[in-house]
A and B are shown apart, each in its own frame.
Chain A
Amino acid sequence: QQQVKQSPQSLIVQKGGISIINCAYENTAFDYFPWYQQFPGKGPALLIAIRPDVSEKKEGRFTISFNKSAKQFSLHIMDSQPGDSATYFCAASLGRDDKIIFGKGTRLHILP
């Protein structure tokens, strides 16, 4: 049973546009929601993370929007650049002593 569902599987965006990746979760006890970025041949790296007590978190061009009632969260990449082309994973965790559940990933391609 997949506890974190991610969409779309792949996404193509023009340079300068907004990239949006969506995730939905089932377990309302999740209390940590990170996004990871992975370049080819590399391990995933933490991009940005949010906890459910806030509805939005912004770091530079990257923003997480969180909707607790809908059990959904999304990643927005503003002014998307070719260097943002990577695979993005959303994830959820029950807390410090628990494992993280990952979505299946979104392959993002930014057209130059």
Chain B
Amino acid sequence: DAGITQSPRHKVTETGTPVTLRCHQTENHRYMYWYRQDPGHGLRLIHYSYGVKDTDKGEVSDGYSVSRSKTEDFLLTLESATSSQTSVYFCAIKPGLAGTDTQYFGPGTRLTVL
């Protein structure tokens, strides 16, 4: 699991409530990513970070915000959860070493919005 933990692993919430998912890494890697995975859509990038306080949007960023105040933690927030945000969320890191572009994924968080 490349030293990546995600919390919580499962969450059920109601429409309109705020939700924060946490990704924690132990290796001080520069790059971190949030994806969502849905049947028929594969993995879609929500937001990513290339350093503390440096973040950027991915292809499905609407309704999501992120923060990275420490190298080891990347938080994904759903300000007001909707049923369309029911999904499995994966965090990934990329070591950023010369010669490698590989991303390593965490175990995922299954989020259900009722």
A interface, CB within 8 angstroms of B: 6, 9, 32, 34, 36, 41-46, 49, 89, 93, 95-100, 102-105
**Do B98 and A43 have beta carbons less than 8 Å apart?**
no
A-B contact pairs, 15 of them (CB 8 A): A43-B90, A43-B105, A43-B107, A43-B108, A44-B90, A46-B102, A95-B101, A96-B101, A97-B96, A99-B33, A99-B48, A100-B101, A100-B103, A104-B42, A105-B42
**Do B106 and A43 have beta carbons less than 8 Å apart?**
yes
8 A-B pairs besides A6-B42, A45-B105, A96-B96 with CB distance below 8 A are A34-B102, A43-B108, A45-B104, A46-B103, A46-B104, A49-B102, A98-B101, A99-B45
B interface, CB within 8 angstroms of A: 1, 33, 40-45, 48, 50, 58, 90, 92, 96, 98, 100-108
In the assembled complex, which residues on chain A have CB atoms less than 8 Å from the CB atom of B100?
96
In the assembled complex, which residues on chain A have CB atoms less than 8 Å from the CB atom of B33?
99
Q: How far is the CA of A97 from the CA of B90 in the complex (A)?
A: 20
Dominant SS at the B interface?
Answer: loop
Given A89-B43, A99-B58, A104-B42, also A42-B101 (CB < 8 A): no
In the assembled complex, which residues on chain B have CB atoms less than 8 Å from the CB atom of A34?
101-102
Q: How far is the CA of A68 from the CA of B1 in the complex (A)?
A: 32
Nearest B residue to A32 via CB reads B101
Q: Nearest 10 pairs between A and B by C-beta? A: A43-B105, A104-B42, A102-B43, A32-B101, A105-B42, A102-B42, A93-B101, A44-B105, A46-B102, A43-B90
Q: How far is the CA of A100 from the CA of B92 in the complex (A)?
A: 11
In the assembled complex, which residues on chain B have CB atoms less than 8 Å from the CB atom of A9?
40
